[in-house]
Amino acid sequence: MTGWTALLLRDLRLARRVGAGAELGLVFFLILVSLLPFAIGADQRFISRIAPAFLWLAALLATLLGLDRLLQADEEEGVLDQFMLSGTPLELLVLAKALAHWLVTGLPLSLVAPLLGLMLAIEPQAMVPLALSLLVGTPALTLIGLIGAALTVSLKRGGLLLSVLVLPLTVPTLIFGATLVKEAALGRPYTTPLMLLGGMTLLMLVIAPVSAAAALRHARQ
């Protein structure tokens, strides 16, 4: 087994622990979505209209959970030092960590979102596109978060700063993701936002591991 898969499996195993964030992200998403009708009232037409945007916002906030500990826990225990000594490039190792994070937050979120969309009276024809948009878009959110996590790795209480750093960078993903679901709900083609969303994710796939690894190396100095 290579170091890369060993790290991926280790992080997945860690995520299974109670309170580690895996299932919490999902529960947080569920709570946010169920709070919305309480705040808005029984205006079903209105809720249905803002549902795509709201589901995407909720997914964004749920992805942020646990990001502050993504690299920090390894840094505090001295495991990041061992990453530096591994034959596997640091860029790939942080990518493995991001993948593990996505597998336990973004992926279940994407699969559950259409069901929660039902609660918000989302149009039936938008349910599959909603899951698709989250599947394609949430990796970008995790990867942007990876950069933030690397930048705040040495700060004791960096969680808030991380959100402030990361949220503005997620704007394009949010726009394309919410647009996709909105277009689908209106029965219009949504290929263009899907392509742009995929483009964002691919771009982040290239930028994030390199930036995160550079930030971590800089943090040692």
Partner 1 sequence: MALISTLGTVPAPALAIRGLAMARGYRTLFRDLDIDLAPGQVLQLTGPNGTGKSTLLRLIAGFLKPDAGTIRWSPVPDEVSPGEWLHYSGHHEGLRDGLTAQDNVATLASLLGGDPARTGAALGAVGAAPLAELPVEVLSAGQRRRVALARLLVAPRPVWLLDEPFTALDRDGQALVRQLIGAQAAAGGLVIAATHQPLDLPDLVHVVLGGPAS
Binding site for partner 1 (CB under 8 A): 1-3, 5-7, 9-10, 13-14, 17, 20, 73-74, 76-79, 81-88, 93, 220-221
Helix, strand, coil % in the chain, rounded to nearest 5: 80, 0, 20
Residues 143 and 91: their CA atoms lie apart, in Å, by 12
Cβ at position 104, least distance to partner 1 in Å = 14
Residue whose C-alpha is closest to residue 208's, from 107, 90, 123, 103: 90
**Which of helix, strand or coil describes residue 19?**
coil
At closest approach, how far in Å is the CB of 195 from partner 1? 37
* Closest separation in Å from C-beta 139 to partner 1: 24
Q: Which is nearer to partner 1, 79 or 186 (CB)?
A: 79
> Which is closer to partner 1, CB of 65 or CB of 120?
65
Q: How many CA atoms lie within 13 A of 123 on its CB side?
A: 16
Using N-to-C axis directions, what is the helix angle for 68-76 and 127-151, rounded to 10°?
40
Shortest distance in whole angstroms from residue 112 CB to partner 1: 25
In angstroms, the CA 112 to CA 30 distance is: 9
